[in-house]
Amino acid sequence: MSLNLKQPSSSLRKTVRISVITVVHVFLFAASGYSAFLLRFDFNIPWWQWEHLIYALTIWTITKTIVFQSFPVNRVTWRFVSLPDAIMLLAANLTGSLASAIAIRLIAPAGFPRSIYIIDLALCLLFTSGIRLAVRMLAEASSAHGRSDGRRALIYGAGDAGVMLLREVRANPKIGYKICGFVDDDPAKTGRLIHGVKVFGTGDSLTKIAPKHQIQHVLIAMPSATGPQMVKILNRCAAAQLSFQTVPALSEGVNNCSIAPIRDVAVADLLGRTQVSLDDANVRAKFENQVVLVTGAAGSIGSELCRQIARFRPKLLVGFDVSETGLFYLDREMQSSFPNVAFKPEIGSILSTRRLREVFESRGFATVFHAAAYKHVPLMETHVFEAFENNVVGTYNVATMAERFGVKDFVLISSDKAVRPTSIMGLTKHVAELMVSSLQNGSTKFVSVRFGNVLGSNGSVVAIFKEQIAAGGPVTVTHPEMRRYFMTIPEAAQLVLQASTMGRGGEVFVLDMGQPMKIVDLARNMILLSGRRIEDIRIDFTGTRPGEKLYEELSTLEEETLATYHEKIRIFSGDRTRIPNPEAWMDAAHRQSQRRDMRLILVLKTLVTDYNPSSEVLQRLMDQPQLAPQLKPQAGRELIA
């Protein structure tokens, strides 16, 4: 028989603490009552009032002790007492004084001075709140004095987040900072004292404030700052040669008057995107106790989809991918982060219908998220057939398997590059969208979700820039006017889940990506994040690559999307080509691909008439003389026929 020594020790400490607080309260109740009599009678209590005093002290101490025990005031840590605790303390005092007054009227001799009730209430409230305030002030003063050797830091932002951050730094010695002051972009706050700490000035004067007060570090406490505001702050920190960190949005970290951990500023902070608000009830109803499949599960979007779906407790979550290593690490992560969710990794290719059938026939999937795809634009320009096989044939295989085995919902992860495509990657994603929509004729609901680039995905420009900056540069950007839409991986995955609960089938959902960002601005911002000045790292422009656009589009025109009940999700309402016989079309196109026949491009262009091939693809077509007369849209229809 083993003994648990830790729990009794914790219980004993709790009992001792509450007992000490109770004794202190009894003393304060008696002191406030006796002081009330002294004040009422000008510090000379008449002998005929002593009987009233004895009755009152007895009733006050017993009644108020019982009332305070019924309120949670004894369980609040005094060094962290706050306004809600003061309100609760006021309620306890009012209740205790009222109950005591009733008891005194019923038990004590007649003639009890009524003014003493009010005096006692005021004194008791003053004593019980004053001792808590004194303990908190002593604790804060002690902690601040104990970290005089920490790094000298400023808090940028003298609002609620800044005040909470000051308290957190003072209360937690492990953070290791000595807060010397605030800066805030509101000039009206300059000169104010916040918990004894001065607001030195605005951010514009940071270069003067830092050397004057020997500042080493800036803690940015502006969780609601926009992307441009954060960039301006980082520029000011760089000009003052100060390192910096930030705190996340308050909604992510506040818990019992504590702020989220201080962390380095991330690229996502510079986007200034607001936190996604999900309709949790609908999403939970869709995934809780259901069996869900994610293809491409080892990729950036696929793995995040797995994490987000796991939050809603599915009965079984299956991750399908051809990457053994990626699935191995995802499996370990899911077991560690979601031990109560059944996760099953399945290795296989979406080009193998036999393997897909094995996975589908034994599971009974309710929802399939198809995230497996080739995505790198320049690479796909030189691998036309591989892009078609994986992005179109693979999508067709998974979609038809979902239909065959009665899957309720099929969601295709698409791309902004599918809009007026100029690349093979965009062309194949557009055709995949058309294929999925054309299969909508049965019980399975087929939808596509289209969005732009996600920060930090595998092989993304962010990872490349990080490597180049770490090496001292240069940072390579294709064109000074190159722009892209960006969002974070978690935001994209959450909105995909939300979109999966919408629609009746056949729709293409478009995620709100905000405003596009210049790639060169992203490069400059990442240089700032590295703690260097922009002029420290050279930026070279290398020219656009085959298949790349300067501007990506989520829909051809703003009016071609309709609003949904979610502010960040719209439905594409433009003309949608339907494939009358998807199976026959796929067989014909697949034969072209297997023969490595570049006339496949003409076949695809019959569906996506606004496809504008790159010079590299056109050159490959022109290298086949027999195709020259056929470089017209109708040629593809003739080939299928």
Reported as a single tens digit per residue, the pLDDT across 292-309 is 999 999 998 999 999 999
What's at 249, amino acid-wise?
A: A
Mean pLDDT within 210-228: 86
Contacts of 435 (CB under 8 A, 6+ apart): 392, 395, 396, 399, 579, 582, 586
- Whether 461 maps to a domain, the answer reads no
Domain co-membership, 156 together with 220: yes
Task: Tell me if residue 189 is catalytic.
Answer: no
What's at 631, amino acid-wise?
A: L
Domain co-membership, 241 together with 348: no
Percentage of the chain lying above the pLDDT 70 cut? 83
Going from the C-alpha of 348 to that of each of 394, 398, 407, the distances in angstroms are 12, 12, 19
Domain co-membership, 167 together with 181: yes
Single residue among 202, 231, 265 that ends a domain in this structure: 265
pTM for the model: 0.68
2 pLDDT exceeds 50? no
Question: Does residue 474 have a cis bond before it (omega within 30 degrees)?
Answer: yes
Domain co-membership, 303 together with 428: yes
Are 15 and 75 in contact by the 8 Å Cβ rule? The answer is no
- Whether 482 maps to a domain, the answer reads no
Tokens 């022109």 -> residue: 622
pLDDT at 6: 46
In this predicted model, what pLDDT tens digit does every residue of 522-578 receive, in sequence order?
A: 888 888 777 777 778 898 888 877 666 676 655 554 547 777 777 778 787 666 678
Q: How confident is the model at residue 165 (pLDDT cuts 50, 70, 90)?
A: confident
Domain co-membership, 340 together with 434: yes
Are 294 and 268 in contact by the 8 Å Cβ rule? The answer is no
- Whether 443 maps to a domain, the answer reads yes
Percentage of the chain lying above the pLDDT 90 cut? 29
The residue ranking higher by pLDDT, 461 or 67, is: 67
Q: What gap in Å lies between CA 22 and CA 507, rounded to an integer? A: 65
- Whether 465 maps to a domain, the answer reads no
488 pLDDT exceeds 90? no
Are 216 and 183 in contact by the 8 Å Cβ rule? The answer is no
Q: What gap in Å lies between CA 216 and CA 219, rounded to an integer? A: 10
Single residue among 113, 142, 171 that ends a domain in this structure: 142
Domain co-membership, 397 together with 326: yes
> Which helix H or strand E contains 320, and what residues bound it?
strand 316-321
Indicate the DSSP class of residue 392: I
pLDDT at 623: 73
Domain co-membership, 296 together with 352: yes
DSSP letters for 189-203: GTT-EETTEEEEE-G
Q: In this structure, what CATH number is given to the domain that contains residue 191?
A: 3.40.50.720
Single residue among 142, 165, 185 that ends a domain in this structure: 142
- Whether 251 maps to a domain, the answer reads yes
Q: What gap in Å lies between CA 221 and CA 619, rounded to an integer? A: 55
SS3 220: strand
Domain co-membership, 421 together with 558: yes
- Whether 459 maps to a domain, the answer reads no
Positive/negative CA dihedral, 354, 299, 500, 576: negative
Domain co-membership, 310 together with 397: yes
Domain co-membership, 311 together with 234: no
Based on the structure, what is the number of domains in the chain?
4
How big is the chain, counted in residues?
641
Q: How far does Cα 115 stand from its chain's mean position?
A: 57
Are 29 and 64 in contact by the 8 Å Cβ rule? The answer is yes
Q: What gap in Å lies between CA 465 and CA 472, rounded to an integer? A: 11
> Which helix H or strand E contains 294, and what residues bound it?
strand 291-295
Domain co-membership, 137 together with 154: no
pLDDT at 234: 86
Domain co-membership, 117 together with 191: no
Contacts of 111 (CB under 8 A, 6+ apart): 52
- The residue annotated as part of the active site, out of 64, 417, 445, 605, is 417
Q: Which domain holds residue 248?
A: 147-265
- Whether 47 maps to a domain, the answer reads yes
